[in-house]
Amino acid sequence: MSSVVEELIREAADCFDRAGIPEAEREARRVADVLLPGVSTLDPDQPPPAFTTRFIELVRQRERRVPLDRLLGHVRFRALELAIGEGTFAPQPETSAVVDWCVAALDRAGLRSPRVVDLCTGPGTVALALANEVPGAEVHAVEISPAAFAWAQRNAETRQAAGDRPVRLHLADAATALRSLDGTFDLVVSNPPYVADHELSQLQPEVREYDPRLAVRGGPDGLDLVRIVERAAARLCRDGGLLAVEHSDRQGSSAPSVLTATAAWTEVEDHRDGDGRDRFVTARRAERG
């Protein structure tokens, strides 16, 4: 990278550091990285004026704690480029650990056409990743927010045009969705809202001010939606079917306890993400009596 661009990055990192943005230098380099692919030629000593202008514009907005993904209107998640904006949350890297587990579990099951549902899908993150990575999967996605559902539709259409299997989208409440398919799913997966009420004021401004409250708030202990997902999954899963639910890094004990408190689940296990933090719980549907 040119010395001029390096100087821009150093200045941006200083701005971000003063603004309280974590990992300021890494974030400044990320701003540069998202612009560089659009530059066909980059003089080692003099970047194009358009690059410098756009870089400074993004830095100024990011300094006000506007999430970079929202400024760009898209986010990279695994092999996907997902459109995001007002009304939906931005996919986070830690959710990739959940997808890793789901892909591996379905592969071990050896099913030719596994039936999967992603509850609280948001912009379609997990559902679209699984449709992209699990050959033959029949993937459903449920979202209650019309605004988030619109982003999921947009992303699903883009991915289908790219050759992925279509994802069946449902604008519905996870608590009551897909009753006609009860007992038929091989995998239920969810990244539900899980921030406890008393934690909302402690969130980073990027989440507190830009992510919709419906996609963040999880009730007094952060587990209201985890409980809803557990009950929905208990009816949707076939006997022996699997469940994977993301949770916060503070819920490594409390989230699994939601599952162990009922006879519907066996093999309850909590897992960590790539940074070693408690991140999601899995289980297998017990045989119905």
pLDDT in tens, 25-53: 988 988 888 777 655 456 656 778 888 88
Q: How many CB atoms lie within 10 A of CB 214?
A: 16
Question: Alpha carbon of 147 to those of 66, 89, 123: distances in Å?
Answer: 19, 11, 9
Q: What is the pLDDT of residues 186-199, one digit of tens each?
A: 999 999 999 888 88
- Which is it for strands 237-246 and 278-285: parallel, antiparallel or unpaired? antiparallel
**Alpha helix stretches (DSSP H) within 164-242:** 205-210, 224-236
Q: What is the pLDDT of residues 211-235, one digit of tens each?
A: 787 877 889 999 999 999 999 999 9
pLDDT at 44 (0 to 100): 53
Report d(CA 242, CA 102) in Å as an integer: 9
Q: Check residue 240 and give its pLDDT.
A: 98
State the pLDDT at residue 1: 46
pLDDT of residue 42: 60
Name the architecture of domain 74-285: 3-Layer(aba) Sandwich (3.40)
The list of the chain residues with pLDDT below 50 reads: 1, 40
User: How confident is the model at residue 43, as a pLDDT?
Assistant: 62
- Percent of the chain whose pLDDT exceeds 70: 96
pLDDT at 48: 80
**Distance (Å, whole) CA 26 – CA 55:** 15
Q: How many CA atoms lie within 13 A of 159 on its CB side?
A: 29
Q: What average pLDDT is seen over the chain? A: 92
The CA-atom distances, in angstroms, between 263 and each of 170, 176, 283 are 28, 20, 11
**In this structure, how many other beta carbons lie within 10 angstroms of the beta carbon of residue 262?**
14
pTM for the model stands at: 0.88
Task: Let me know: does 270 contact 280? Beta carbons within 8 Å.
Answer: yes
Asked if 100 and 243 count as a contact pair (C-beta separation under 8 A), the reply is no
Sequential DSSP letters for 29-73: HHHHHHHGGG-S---SS---HHHHHHHHHHHHHHHTT--HHHHHT
d(CA 206, CA 204): 5
